[in-house]
Amino acid sequence: MNIDKEHIDFFTNLVGADNIYTDKAHKRAYSYDATRTYYEPDAVLFPRSEEDISKILKYCNEHQIVIVPRGAGSGFTGGALPVNGGIVLAMEKHMNKILEIDLENMLAIVQPGVINKDLQRHVEELGLFYPPDPASEEYSTLGGNVSENAGGMRAAKYGITKDFVMALRAVLPNGDVIRAGKRTIKDVAGYNIAGILTASEGTLAVITEITLKLLPKPKFAKSYMGIFPDVSSAMNAVFKSLAKGANPVAMEFLDSLVVKAVQEKLGVDLPSEAGALLIGDVDGNVEQEVAFQLETLRESFLENGAVEFRVASDKSERDELWRARKGASQSITIYGSKKLNEDISVPRSMLPKALEEIYKIGSKYNFNVPCFGHAGDGNIHVNVMVDGSSREQLENGHKAIREIFQLVVDMGGTLSGEHGIGLSKAEFMNIAFSEEELALFKRVKEAFDPNGILNPGKMGL
């Protein structure tokens, strides 16, 4: 769509000329995310306040102008792409303040443009802890994290974003401002609107303020690595260790393809003979608790076929272990110019069978499928590596992805553990949900956004 000059004039008078852009450079800069797919907006707006957002949405609703909320644009599924043009509502310039840290009630109140890691650093200086740590934590915004229900490596012990959202302020498409949730630990009055808005990918309302639960910062932490001869042994060790009483902060998985890629691209010293690695942290407020957790993991890993169990002796060794894990995604490009990156999630006990079948699907199409991710919570990043210049490989890659999704759903799993649905997975929603469930989603969308102006086309809505 092309926005008439009268609309541009209205927005310019509202937010000022330095907060609205229609030039090619800005439209290009806000046309893509981590999918590297491009859709240019007609304009980019930088709201200064909740009041600005309310007036913008009310005007857009009255004039049927599409609005797409955007944080840092770090998403992997196209959730912030302006597929129908319209206006990108960018939060990072002004709506980026930590408004309050309540030490007595251990909560933070932030605007949606605050960077995840900035909040982590700030509260840790006060002896508190915000656990959700997506791989994009250094640049992704908390508003984006809430909109996608982001996870992270510490999810095995501490959970994901939804487990820390206590309350939200948000603007509905008609301009009305609502508050969902409370600062209280318990709140069972009325529908859980905050829960509905979390993971809604900006399709229902524009989040303007987030109240997040904080925890006391653990006093001690250590990192470990289990070395396994094959993926099956490692996957069995995951759910059996947890069932035995282990409670690691993180339990991250790298298969042999990823190990090779990290060695080649980053020069990290990893055991080259490993068929799979499990890397993670344990923490606690007393050293005995950390020691107990490490011993529980060591015993269980060895019982399930581990060749060796190592504990990082100092910060340098710990940093090197995590450099390997955090560098996995960028390193696997040695296997293909384009990766079809999916973040499937299955019950942990199904991990051995799921990985076995996923590798079979890769072999069927003659693709390398390096896998890594959050094994401790059953969330694995499956990467079908293809030649991006080959139409045949791209078509076969998408066939492989459809088969993987069907496999995962048949095992009681889901299409996404943390990246969301956005554009890239919208076509697969009918694998995971019945016609009745999809119709219910659409009715929820219509209840919030009857004119369909807010982030249309995402999640198949």
How far apart are the two ends of the chain, measured CA to CA in Å? 18
Same domain as 228, residue 190: no
Q: What is the CATH number of the domain that holds 72?
A: 3.30.43.10
Domain total of the chain: 4
Residue 92 confidence (pLDDT): 95
Domain-ending residue, one of 296, 329, 362: 329
* Domain enclosing residue 390, as ranges: 336-432
Same domain as 208, residue 139: yes
Domain-ending residue, one of 193, 216, 239: 216
Each of the 461 residues of the chain gets a pLDDT tens digit; together they read 689 999 999 999 999 999 999 999 999 999 999 988 999 999 999 999 999 999 999 999 999 999 999 999 999 999 999 999 999 999 999 999 999 999 999 999 999 999 999 999 999 999 999 999 999 999 999 999 999 999 999 999 999 999 999 999 999 999 999 999 999 999 999 999 999 999 999 999 999 999 999 999 999 999 999 999 999 999 999 999 999 999 999 999 999 999 999 999 999 999 989 999 999 999 999 999 999 999 999 999 999 999 999 999 999 999 999 999 999 999 999 999 999 999 999 999 999 999 999 999 999 999 999 999 999 999 999 999 999 999 999 999 999 999 999 999 999 999 999 999 999 999 999 999 999 999 999 999 999 999 999 999 999 98
Residue 41 confidence (pLDDT): 97
Residue 2 confidence (pLDDT): 81
Domain-ending residue, one of 284, 308, 329: 329
Residue 437 lies in a domain: no
pTM assigned to the model: 0.96
Residue 243 lies in a domain: yes
Amino acid identity of residue 409, one-letter, is V
Q: What is the CATH number of the domain that holds 165?
A: 3.30.465.10
Same domain as 76, residue 11: yes
137-171 burial by CB neighbour count: b if 16+ within 10 A, else e? beebbbbbbbbbbbbbbbbbbbebbbebbbbbbbb
Q: What is the CATH number of the domain that holds 428?
A: 3.30.70.2740
CA distance 154 to 160: 8
Amino acid identity of residue 459, one-letter, is M
- Phi, psi of 326, deg, nearest 5: -70, -20
Distances (CA, A) of 320 to 60, 152, 430, 441: 50, 18, 42, 44
Residue 445 lies in a domain: no
Same domain as 325, residue 389: no
Same domain as 291, residue 201: no
Residue 36 confidence (pLDDT): 85
Same domain as 341, residue 422: yes
Residue 291 lies in a domain: yes
Residue 460 lies in a domain: no
Same domain as 269, residue 189: no
Q: What is the CATH number of the domain that holds 235?
A: 3.30.70.2190
Same domain as 131, residue 230: no
Residue 458 lies in a domain: no
Residue 457 lies in a domain: no
Same domain as 66, residue 132: no
Residue 140 lies in a domain: yes
Same domain as 350, residue 399: yes
Same domain as 321, residue 233: yes
